[in-house]
């Protein structure tokens, strides 16, 4: 309800007008029961969807935590290879689970609205600590003063937090995506961030760290798939799970028992 899709459309159109090719990876929350998703983000960006300089790919989160999908990194690389020089990643927007996206983007923008309860609640969630900038959206009409007040409160709180990026001070700004106010100014903040972090070497170091983290994630995923797909594990897992549920076997002992079922793969 903070207007992420409206903001992204306004920003995307602004960038297209400047001659950029823009890709939007929009992640919609999935049902925890059916894993289904309405994928409504693209329909909320009607103007941007019709622009030939833009590409919008909605994807279901499929229960993946972190605000993005399991294949978001791969999709991001494909978009880069296809010539899109700016890629916007919209997360599911549930607050506390938005942290994984930090590990795959250069700049993290947190979009909030004024008057959404405790203005500093985000500090407790840890999401604010990851942001390189905060946009207080819907700063128009009767909410304009509320938005300015909220931005001031966040800026005072941010003064006491460790910056998300070395050599960069995170600040809160107001904007109205509906009317386009402040969207261009926010993009100027992003370009300034790129210039500052590129010159200092921080951006290059971040990308190297992200590549390393991605490697570890892929290894963990493959090991998990290999382990639970192993015939011996599949054969013993039901009985071991039942023993744990009934309290006959501690979870730690059960884990060791399952691990003993798997022989390390031969090294060629």
Same structural domain, 238 and 130? no
Question: How many domains does the chain fold into?
Answer: 2
Same domain? 221 vs 124 = no
Residues 121 and 214 in one domain: no
Model confidence band, residue 114 (pLDDT cutoffs 50, 70, 90): confident
Q: pLDDT above 70 covers what percent of the chain?
A: 81
Residue 22's CB: how many other CB atoms inside 10 A? 24
**pLDDT above 60 for 235:** yes
Domain that residue 218 falls in: 209-259
Q: What is the pLDDT of residue 91?
A: 81
Tell whether 183 is covered by a domain.
yes
Tokens of 131: 């942001």
Distance of CA 127 to the CA centre of its chain: 10
Give residue-wise pLDDT tens across range 13-59.
999 999 999 999 987 644 334 333 344 455 678 899 899 999 998 87
Helix (H) or strand (E) holding 204: helix 202-229
Given a contact cutoff of 8 angstroms between Cβ atoms, the answer to whether 133 and 189 are in contact is yes
Q: How far is CA 57 from CA 39, 40, 62, 103, 124, in A?
A: 9, 11, 15, 20, 31
Give the pLDDT confidence of 123-137 residue by residue, as tens digits: 545 788 889 999 999
Q: Which two tokens stand for residue 66?
A: 């972190």
Nearest to 67 by CA among 95, 47, 31: 95
The arithmetic mean of pLDDT across residues 74-79, rounded, is 90
- pLDDT tens profile 161-219: 899 999 999 999 999 999 999 999 999 999 999 999 999 999 999 999 999 988 998 89
Return the half-sphere exposure (C-beta side, CA atoms, 13 A cut-off) of residue 7: 28
CB atoms within 10 A of CB 249: 16
157 plus 88 within the same structural domain? yes
Query: What is the pTM (predicted TM-score) of this model?
Result: 0.81
pLDDT score of 62 = 46
> Checking phi first, is residue 126 left (phi over 0); if not, alpha (psi -120 to 50) or beta?
left
Going by pLDDT thresholds of 50, 70 and 90, the confidence category of residue 72 is: confident
Report the C-alpha gap between 163 and 30 in whole angstroms: 32
List C-alpha distances in Å: 168 to 1, 39, 88, 131. 29, 35, 21, 11
Q: What was the pLDDT predicted at 44?
A: 72
Give a yes or no: residue 265 inside a domain: no
Beta strands 133-136 and 109-112 are parallel
Are 21 and 52 in the same domain?
Answer: yes
| Same domain assignment for residues 26 and 131 | yes
The arithmetic mean of pLDDT across residues 106-126, rounded, is 72
* 184 and 57 within one domain: yes
109 sits in which H/E element = strand 109-112
């Amino acid at each position: 309800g903070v207007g992420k899709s409206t903001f992204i459309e306004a920003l995307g159109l602004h960038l297209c007008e400047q001659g950029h090719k823009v890709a939007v990876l929009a992640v919609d929350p999935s049902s925890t029961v059916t894993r289904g998703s309405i994928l409504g983000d693209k329909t909320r960006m009607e103007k941007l969807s019709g622009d030939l300089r833009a590409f919008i790919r909605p994807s279901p989160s499929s229960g993946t935590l972190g605000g993005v999908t399991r294949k978001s990194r791969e999709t991001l690389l494909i978009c880069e290879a296809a010539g899109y020089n700016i890629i916007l990643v919209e997360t599911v927007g549930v607050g506390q689970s938005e942290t994984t996206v930090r590990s795959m983007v250069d700049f993290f923008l947190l979009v909030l609205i004024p008057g959404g309860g405790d203005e500093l609640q985000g500090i407790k969630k840890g999401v604010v600590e990851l942001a390189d900038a905060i946009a207080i959206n819907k700063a128009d009409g009767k909410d304009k003063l509320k938005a300015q007040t909220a931005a001031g409160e966040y800026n005072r709180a941010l003064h006491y937090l460790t910056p998300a990026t070395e050599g960069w001070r995170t600040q809160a700004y107001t904007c109205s995506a509906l009317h386009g106010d402040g969207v261009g100014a926010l993009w100027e903040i992003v370009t300034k961030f790129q210039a500052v972090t590129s010159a200092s070497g921080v951006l290059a170091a971040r990308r190297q760290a992200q590549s390393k983290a991605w490697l570890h994630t892929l290894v963990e995923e493959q090991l998990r798939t290999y382990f639970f797909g192993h015939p011996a594990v599949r054969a013993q897992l039901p009985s071991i799970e039942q023993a744990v549920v009934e309290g006959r076997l501690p979870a730690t002992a059960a884990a060791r028992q399952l691990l003993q079922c798997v022989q390390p793969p031969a090294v060629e």
